[in-house]
Amino acid sequence: MKTAEDARRRALRLRAQIEDANYRYYVLDEPSIADAEYDRLLRELEELERAHPELVAPDSPTQRVGARPASEFAEVRHEIPMLSLANAFRDEEVADFVRRIEDTLGVKDPAFSTEPKVDGLAISLRYEDGVFVRGATRGDGTTGEDVTANLRTVRAVPLHLRGHDWPRVLEVRGEVYMPKAAFAAYNAQALKRGEKTLANPRNGAAGSLRQLDPQVTARRPLAFFAYAVGVIDGGTLPPTHSQTLARLREWGFPVSGEIGLAHGLDGLLAYYRRIGARRDALPYEIDGVVYKLDRYDGQRAMGFVARAPRWALAHKFPAQEEMTTVEAIEVQIGRTGAATPVARLAPVPVAGVTVTNATLHNADQVARLDVRVGDTVIVRRAGDVIPEVVRVVPERRPRGTHPWQMPKHCPVCRSELVREEGEAVWRCSGGLYCPAQRKESIRHFASRRALDIEGLGERIVDDLVELGGVESVADLYRLRVDDLLAMKRRAEERDGTVPETVKKGRIASKWAENLIAAIARSKDTTLERFLYALGIPEVGEATAKALARHFGSLDALLAAGEAELTEVPDIGPVVAGCILAFFRERHNRAVIEALRAAGVRWPEHAPRRASAGPLAGKTVVLTGTLGAFTRDEAKERLEALGAKVAGSVSKKTSFVVAGSEAGSKLDKARELGVEIWDEARLQTFLEQHGG
C-alpha cells in the first residue's frame, strides 16, 4: 500500500514522464515511447489521483479531459488585441511592403522571420508561473471566447512550461489545426459509424474547439503551433522574433519546422515559392506564408495601421476552394469497372487552374451531400489531387431540382451496373467487353496466376488496345506476327523513336514470334485458371478453384443459380450475386464463347461435391518438406477429397501432415493433441481414395 508521500513522489514522476513524452512527440517530432506505453503511464496516473484526490493539480496531464460541458463560453478581453494581418496576392504587393519598411527604417534588405500560414483557428494561451491557466479564441480581435477546458484536451498544448527562465506571466499565441492525415482518418471512421463528416481541416479545428463538451473536443485529432507572444510580465524576451520562437520551443511549445529567416524582397519571394512547391506535401493545410520583420525594435518603429501591423504581411496562395454551379452529373467508368459520379461544373479558377469537372467519389457521397444538377457548390482542389465537391450551398438551390440517382447501365458499354452488398462502389458488370476496362482485363487475363502469357507486359497491352485494334481478350488469339510488327511500327511513329523494325530486321521480329508462341501455349489451361482469368468480381484464385472443383465444367457453372452457387464452400449470397451478374451480361458470354472457339481449352470432369469426399468437414495443415509431391500438389489432392487446407494449427485442426524439417506447426500440434500424419500415411490414404 502506497503512503501519501510515496503516491506524491510517484505522481510527480509520472507527470514528468508524460510531459517529456508530449514534448518529444509534439515539439521535437522525436517520439520517445510507444503509444501503448504512453497510455499505460497515463492510466497509472489517473488511478493514483483517483486514490489520492489531493494530488490532482490543474496542470496534471489527467486534466486534459473530463471537465463538465459548458452551457456557453465566457468572454475574454485580450489585454493586447489579436490583430489580423494585411494580405498580399501579388509579388508587387510584397515589393511595396518591403519598400515601405526599407524607406521608414533606412535599411537595405532587412531580415524577416518567415513561416507558413497554417489554416486553423487562432488562439491565445495564458501561463502564470509556468502553469496554463486560460485559453481563448481570437474572436473579433478584442474579445474572444474562453475555451480553456477544450484546450486542455489538446496534447500539443503544454500544461506546464519546461525550464525555469520563463516570465511570471506569459501569453503565447498560435494556431490550433487538424493535420491532414488525422482529418482523413477521422472522417473515414465517422462514415463507418454513420456520423456527420467534417467539411475540411480548418472547419474541423474551429468546430472542435468550440464544442461545449470538452470530451467531444478530446476525441478530435487537434494539434497546435505557436507563432507569437502577447502579454509578458516579470521577464524579458530576446530582441528578435526568430529567437523568441526558438525560446518558445525550449519552453515546450510546438513551432512549425518550416519557419525560416529571409532577407529583402528576393528572400521573401524565394521562401514563398519554396513553401508553395511543398504545400501539398506538408502534413497540415496552409493558405499562404507570413513575413514578420524580425527585430522587435524595427516592429515598434513601424507601428500599426488600422487593425494590422505595418511590419507583417500574409502572402496568400491561390484559393483552393471556390464556388460554382453544377451543370450535369455524369458517370465515369474506371479501369477496374468502378463507376464514379462526376460533376460537370461552370468553369471556375481554383488554386491557379480552371476547373470544369469535380469528383463526387461514389453514390453514397452524392446522397450524403445531396448534390443536384443546378446546385451551387464549393469545389476544392489541392495540388495535383482531382478536384472534388465538398459541400452544397443549400440557400442557393433553385426550385424544381431532384435528387440524383445512379443509372442502371454503364454509359460506355450499356452493361448492368451492380453494387455488392455493404460496398459503396458501383461497378460495370461487362468486365470482358467494356472498353473502359479493356486494358485492365487483358493484363489480368495474361497475368502469371491466370493464363500466364509471358511477354504480354503493360506497355504492349497499352499499344495493342490503342494501336492494335484488340477489343477483348479473345482478340489476342487472332493476332499474327505481322500484326504485332505493324503495331510496333505505329508505336514508333507515334513516339518519334528510331524504328527498330527497320533498324534490326530479323532480330526485331523475334519478340513478336515469342509472344505469339506464348499466346498459343496459353490455350491449354485449367478451368480454375480460366475462371480466375475472367476477372469476375470477388472471384480470386481460391474461389475459382472451389467453383471448378464443385461444378467440374464451365457449362455447369453457367447454368447454376444462386442456390447452387451457395452450395460451394465459402461462397455466400454476395459472391454468388457477383458471379450471376457477370455471366448474365451477354457481352461477357460472347467473349467466353469466342475464347472457346479460338481453342482455349481445359480438362473437365464430373462435379465433385465437397460434402461427398472422405475428408469433407476436415481441416488439414501441411508442414515441413514432402518428398513425393510439392506442397501445392498435396494441397490440391487433399482439397479434391473435400478437405480444407489451413495455414495454421488450432484446436479445430483435424490432423497435421508433417514432412521432413517440420517446425513450429508440428510443435503446436503436439501441444494441442492434434493427430499427426507422416508422408507415408498421406500417400497410402490418397492411393486408397483416388485423391
Task: Write the CATH number for 641.
Answer: 3.40.50.10190
- What residue numbers bound the domain in which 483 lies? 416-608
Is 331 part of a structural domain of the chain? yes
Instruction: Tell me how long the chain is.
Output: 691
Quick one: which of 107, 432, 50 has its CA closest to 297?
A: 107
User: Are residues 475 and 583 located together in one domain of the fold?
Assistant: yes
Considering 608, 627, 655, which residue would you say is the last residue of a domain?
608
Which CATH number is 379's domain given? 2.40.50.140
Please enumerate in sequence order all residues whose Cβ is within 8 A of that of 87, keeping only pairs 6 or more positions apart, or say none.
Answer: 288, 313, 314, 315, 316
> Which pTM does this prediction carry?
0.52
The helix (run of H) or strand (run of E) holding residue 672 is helix 664-672
Q: What is the CATH number of the domain that holds 268?
A: 3.30.470.30
Q: Divide the 691 residues of the chain into consecutive groups of 10 and give the mean pLDDT of each group.
A: 77 83 66 65 80 79 56 83 86 94 94 94 94 90 88 91 92 94 86 76 81 81 94 93 96 94 96 92 92 96 84 86 89 84 90 84 87 90 74 88 91 85 79 82 90 89 84 91 89 68 57 92 94 89 88 92 83 85 88 94 77 74 82 78 79 86 82 87 80 56
**Of the candidates 316, 351, 370, which is a domain's last residue?**
316
**What is the residue type of 480?**
R
Please say whether the dihedral angle defined by the alpha carbons of residues 305, 309, 314 and 315, taken in this order, is positive or negative.
positive
- Sign of the torsion formed by the C-alpha atoms of 487, 493, 499 and 500: negative
77 inside domain: no
Task: Write down which residue in 289, 316, 343 finishes a domain.
Answer: 316
Read off the C-alpha cell for 139.
Answer: 474572436
Per the domain annotation, does 71 fall within a domain?
A: no
Specify whether 138 is located in the same domain as 221: yes
* 630 & 677 share domain: yes
Residues 441 and 582 placed together within one structural domain of the fold: yes
Q: Is 635 a catalytic residue?
A: no
Give the pLDDT score at 41: 80
Task: Mark whether 9 and 128 lie in a shared domain.
Answer: no
Write the burial class of residue 63 (CB in 10 Å: 0-12 exposed, 13-18 middle, 19+ buried).
middle
Whether 82 maps to a domain, the answer reads: no
Q: Quick one: 155 and 253 in the same domain?
A: yes
Residues 6+ apart with CB under 8 A from 228: 172, 173, 174, 241
Core vs surface per residue 330-364: b (16+ CB within 10 A) or e: ebebeebbbbbbbbebeebebbeeebeebbbbbbb
Q: Would you state the cell numbers that stand for residue 671, as one nine-digit string?
A: 501441444
Of 93, 138, 84, nearest to 315 by C-alpha is: 93
- Distant-in-sequence, close-in-space partners of 209: CB < 8 Å, separation ≥ 6: 121, 123, 137, 147, 150, 151, 176, 217, 222
Query: Would you state the pLDDT for residue 639?
Result: 76
* Residue 640 shares a structural domain with residue 583: no
Q: Are residues 464 and 579 in the same domain?
A: yes
E strand residue ranges, 275-412: 286-293, 304-305, 308-309, 312-316, 321-333, 338-350, 353-359, 376-380, 388-392
CATH number of the domain where residue 446 is located = 1.10.150.20
Coil, strand or helix: which one is 256? coil
- Of 175, 111, 78, the C-alpha closest to 311 is 111
360: which 3 cell numbers?
Answer: 463526387
For residue 333, the SS3 value is strand
**Would you say residue 408 lies in a domain?**
no
Please indicate, yes or no, whether residues 363 and 353 belong to a single structural domain of this protein.
yes
Alpha carbons 404 and 408: distance in angstroms, whole number: 12
Q: Which of 117, 316, 545, 665 is catalytic?
A: 117
Residue 635 resides in a domain: yes
Do both 567 and 670 map to the same domain? no
Residue 433: the pLDDT is 79
Domain count, the chain: 5
Same domain as 342, residue 309: no
Which triple of cell numbers denotes residue 91?
A: 509579388
Inter-residue contact 289 to 305 (CB < 8 Å): no
DSSP helix/strand/coil, 644? strand
Q: Decide if 159 contacts 131 (C-beta within 8 A).
A: yes
For residue 31, the domain's CATH number is 1.10.287.610
**Could you tell me if 119 and 41 lie in one domain?**
no
Pairing of strands 675-677, 644-646: unpaired
Other beta carbons less than 10 A from residue 246's beta carbon: 13
Query: Grid coordinates in use for 178?
Result: 487538424
SS3 letters across 101-161? HHHHHCCCCCEEEEEEEECCEEEEEEEECCEEEEEEECCCCCEEEECHHHHCCCCCCCCEC
Which contacts of 18-22 are long-range, i.e. CB under 8 A and separated by 24 or more positions? Answer: 18/42, 18/45, 18/61, 19/61, 19/158, 19/159, 19/160, 19/162, 19/252, 22/61, 22/155, 22/156, 22/158, 22/252
Give the span between the Cα atoms of 150 and 136, in whole angstroms: 10
Angle, alpha carbons 583-588-590 (nearest 5°):
115
Instruction: Look at residue 373 and give its three-state secondary structure.
Output: coil
